[in-house]
Structure 1
Amino acid sequence: MERVERLQPSFVEEVPEKLQPGVLYVSIPYATAVHCCCCGCGEEIVTPLTPTDWRMTYDGESVSLSPSVGSWSLPCKSHYVIDRGKVRWAAAWTKAQIERQWARDRAAKAAYYGRPLEAAAEIVSPPVGETTPPRPHPKRSLFKVVVNWLFGPPD
């Protein structure tokens, strides 16, 4: 496969079994974005959309993800930012940089979820770019999910 330089958003309820290169599948009900690694290796990249993982911005045409996607647990070790659908390649990280980031991620989750750092292992999402399926969320109507996503939860 060839390196991908642009990702087109596809809003889906559930992510399809077979992913198409160049498509960023966004599931609002599962609060997850999934795509094939942009290096062309074909690996599935799962980015959970949570307060301690990734944030997604949709401008009506394209999607941005923040922070960067680092496929540290994959052989390719790709690192890139998805900015308004464009893939912007970033520098490779050293093993020490990756381990420091994982430690910051664990600490952020522990702080957010109000648990001691030792207990954070229970709530830690996979490391950046890990290839595990999204955690299911309770079923809610798509309309309510989109309204809450656009305008925030009701008071």
Structure 2
Amino acid sequence: MTIKKINHKFVDAIPERTEEGVLYLAMDYATAVHKCACGCGREVVTPLSPTDWKMGYDGVSVSLSPSIGNWSFPCRSHYWIKHSNIRWAGDMSDEQIAAGRAHDRRAKGRYYDAPEAPAARANADARQGLWQRFRLWLSGK
């Protein structure tokens, strides 16, 4: 049975058994998990990151972006989670899926391999130390 609405639960860890119609959000692990909205019972894992899915929460409802395409499942379901509603999207051809996956790989490469990627800057700042940053600030550099 397909679902039209999904509830959300913020959890410390993803439970061993997940329920239909519930989106589990483990923020410490930057991961969202739910059972496929088509009703096939398969678990869908969506990692939250700058190059994977992004989660929006307005205090009442949850959204995930981009769409969820379960291309490796027999159901091949494709949908959006917008304001806790399931919005069904059309099927994609194998060529469209391959192009989307190639796009995702390139985006990850640009983000994580860039010399001044946000993660690289954060690590450099952490290594620099508080006193060094303070001295630079005092000197006006």
State the TM-score, normalizing by the size of structure 2.
0.80
- CA offset at residue 87 of structure 1? 0.1
Give the distance between the partners of 1:75 and 1:66, measured in 2 at CA: 22
Residue 17 in structure 1 maps to residue 19 in structure 2: no
Matched with 2:102 is 103
Aligned counterpart, 2:70: 71
What fraction of aligned residue pairs are identical, expressed as a percent? Answer: 53
Matched to 2:5, the amino acid is: R
- Paired amino acid for 1:104: H
Deviation per CA, 1:25-76, whole angstroms, max 9, x where unpaired?
0000000110000000000000000000000000101100000000011111
Find the residue that maps to 2:106 and give its secondary structure.
Answer: helix
In the alignment, the residues of structure 2 paired with residue 4 and residue 36 of structure 1 have an alpha-carbon distance, to the nearest angstrom, of 10
Matched residue of 1:39: which SS?
coil
RMSD: 0.8
**Runs of 4+ with deviation above 6 angstroms:** none
Deviations 1:117-139 (A, max 9, x none): xxxxxxxxxxxxxxxxxxxxxxx
Q: If you compute each CA radius of gyration, which structure gives the higher value, 1 or 2?
A: 2
- Aligned runs of 1:121-136 on 2, under 5 Å? none
Listed as ranges, the gaps of 5+ residues in structure 1 are 116-155
Partners of 2:71 and 2:111 in 1: CA distance: 24
Structure 2: runs of 5+ lacking an equivalent: 115-141
TM-score normalized by the length of structure 1: 0.72
Letter in 1 for 2:25: V
Query: Partner residue of 2:60?
Result: 61
The size of the alignment, in residue pairs, is 114
- The amino acid of 2:72's aligned partner reads S
